[in-house]
Amino acid sequence: MKTPQRLAPRNGILRLSLVALVSTAALLAACGDKKEKGASQTAAKVNKNEVTVHQINFVLQQQRNIRPEQADAASKQILERLIDQELALQKADDLKIDRDPRVVQQLEAAKREIIARAYLEKVGEAAPKPTPEEIKKYYDEKPALFKERRIYSIQEIAIEAKPEQVATLREKLTASKNINEFVEFLKANEFKFSGNQAVRAAEQLPLQSLDAFAKMTDGQAMMNQAANGVQVVVLAGSRSQPVAEEQARPAIEQFLLNERKRKLIEDDIKAMRGAAKIEYVGKFGEGAPGAAPAAPAATATPAAAPAASGALNAADINKGMGLK
């Protein structure tokens, strides 16, 4: 079997409290909207308290892939959940659950997370949008993602192996006429392994691995280092499905903008760490890093993704390009 070159390698109370915290923040922010003064913003009254339209809209905005014609039905479902939540909050208030040390700690942690995230988002807002020329340049430089885009049928085999066994596995994979022969070898030698099959579009593959996939022919396999051994990826088949520049433009623009935001945020955190006095204490002072640990390098093996479709959107391309 031909193998291309190896690639470099809680609880319910908390949930209710967090939603209440965020919903309250949204309500307070909405109170300043002069445009909606005079209009009733009450969606339901629950005993002495109210569930507002602002709360519903805030939750609705967090929902993805809701079409305009689905908004009314979704709003009604959200309202029912908010009523249940309000009833639970009222009971929790009667029981003074908000004074529980664990709840106080969880609320404080949520507050820190929300405020810190808001600051970083504000830093990212300074990122300039990419120009049409930059978008075209990226399109032209990534043929495997656009002009020569393919849909890949992939077989994955995760193998538990010791470091000294990797060379033998690699040699056997290369020498095997097909993947079935290699699997029989694993069984005969009592290797523990698991298999998986998936259909993935080019944008659903890790960006750093895409060029290698694009060069593979049907039936080829690659072996990548994994945490407990190795992972074999076999290209069972593929078909061409190119994407025109006009269709790809919104996804490229969003990706490039996100990359610029990420870079601004990384630089800002680096600058803040450089200017701050950070002292590690006790056991944390032993071998303490001078800066934040780098994110682990992505492996060449694709992460799980849904079956490929003919459409190309910003969410897919962001996942494939390593964005959250």
> Within this chain, do residues 104 and 180 fall inside the same structural domain, yes or no?
no
31 — alpha (psi -120 to 50), left (phi > 0) or beta? alpha
Tell me what pLDDT residue 185 has.
93
Tell me, yes or no, whether 302 lies in a domain. Answer: no
Beta-bridge partner residues of 49? 46
Name, in order, each residue with C-beta under 8 angstroms of 288's C-beta and a sequence gap of 6 or more: 280
| Residues 219, 159 share a domain | yes
pLDDT value of residue 239: 93
Assigned domain for 299 exists:
no
Same-domain status, 64 and 135: no
252-261, pLDDT tens digit by residue? 999 999 999 9
Q: How far apart are CA 78 and CA 66, in angstroms?
A: 13
Please tell me the distance from the alpha carbon of residue 142 to that of residue 128, in angstroms, as a whole number.
22
| Full residue range of the structural domain in which residue 59 is found | 12-31+40-118
Check residues 19 and 303 and name the one with the higher pLDDT.
19
Q: Exposure string (b/e) for 7-25, b if CB count within 10 Å is 16 or more?
A: beeeeebbebbbbbebbee
Task: Judge if 71 and 168 occupy the same domain.
Answer: no
pLDDT in tens, 109-139: 999 999 999 999 999 999 999 999 999 999 9
User: Is 322 a residue whose pLDDT tops 60?
Assistant: no
Residue 101 has pLDDT above 60, yes or no: yes
Asked if the structure places residue 288 within a domain, the reply is: no
Percent of the chain with pLDDT over 70: 76
